[in-house]
Structure 1
């Protein structure tokens, strides 16, 4: 397992220097692909809290309401998306929350790391002092390892915090990374 992680890190270094990958801000012209990626993750029902897919109108409004919605392109085709926004309002609005989605075909290639790293950079630029994930499903091993490698810490476990499609419950983690 450790060898795979080292290999992945080398692959990610190549990815970040590869002009075939671009992360750009969401625009309405990307709606169809962005909504499809988001809804694909929603329909899997193993990571996002949302359990009903968006219509395109709902998705467009949702993406535009974020501090940042960014799209990841591989060779000109959208393969990923993330959202960045305050996790709360007012005196707690300085901590961000993010969600990430990749097409099934883009997973396992180190592309999630590109999304998370971009959200960290953009979160800092936007003045956020930290990023908090409120409900990382404990069985989402790849995401947890990635977040930890990028400096996120597990602050707490919420027993049974995620309801699975079969009616059972899985623990979730609250994870945090300081940005200052």
Structure 2
């Protein structure tokens, strides 16, 4: 399958919202607790420094990422991203392509560092991917993520120089 990553367009809202909300509703990796509503999703995706959309050769949207500053002012050169892939396609290296694209796009947009604030410790696929792609682990926040069952899981912080 050929995958192209391009910039988000308002016409992508419904497909991107469905993929994003699927991750939110799974409750195991995104900090958001509420799904995005129609209209709200378009404003959210357009408010980012960049929203990248992965699509196949037929134009079907497979996943997306958001890129934005992690902080302001003197720390505004540090970016943060979140990635979402359609659940039926996970394991097909779409996430890896999104991460690699975000590294390039972040640098192109003047960011110097990409930092992940909250990679859930039991998200072993993400941990392996970030390790393999050369991200550096900064440390662990014990019990930093509230799971759907009311328990807490550790989160791991990562960074990558751009």
Alignment of 1:57-96 (within 5 A): 57-75=39-57, 76-96=59-79
Which runs of 5 or more structure 1 residues have no equivalent in the other structure? 1-17
Q: CA deviation at 1:60?
A: 0.7
Q: CA deviation at 1:31?
A: 0.5
User: Is 1:52 equivalent to 2:52 in the alignment?
Assistant: no
| Aligned-partner SS, 2:157 | strand
Q: Cα distance, 1:98 vs. partner? A: 0.2
Matches within 5 A, 1:94-173: 94-173=77-156
By how many angstroms is 1:129 displaced? Answer: 0.7
Q: 1:25 aligned to 2:7?
A: yes
Which SS does the other structure have where 2:39 is aligned?
helix
What SS is found at the alignment partner of 2:155? strand
Q: Aligned pair count?
A: 161
**Alpha-carbon RMSD:** 0.8
CA offsets, 1:108-156, max 9 Å, x none?
A: 0111110000000000101111100000000000011111111111101
Per the alignment, residue 11 of structure 1 pairs with: none
Structure showing the higher helix proportion among its residues: 1
| Structure 2 alignment gaps of length 5 or more | none
Displacement of 1:165 after TM fit?
0.6
Structure whose alpha-carbon radius of gyration is higher: 1
* Alpha-carbon distance, 1:35 to partner: 0.4
TM-score by length of 2: 0.97
Once superposed, which parts of structure 1, at least 4 consecutive aligned residues long, lie more than 4 Å away?
none
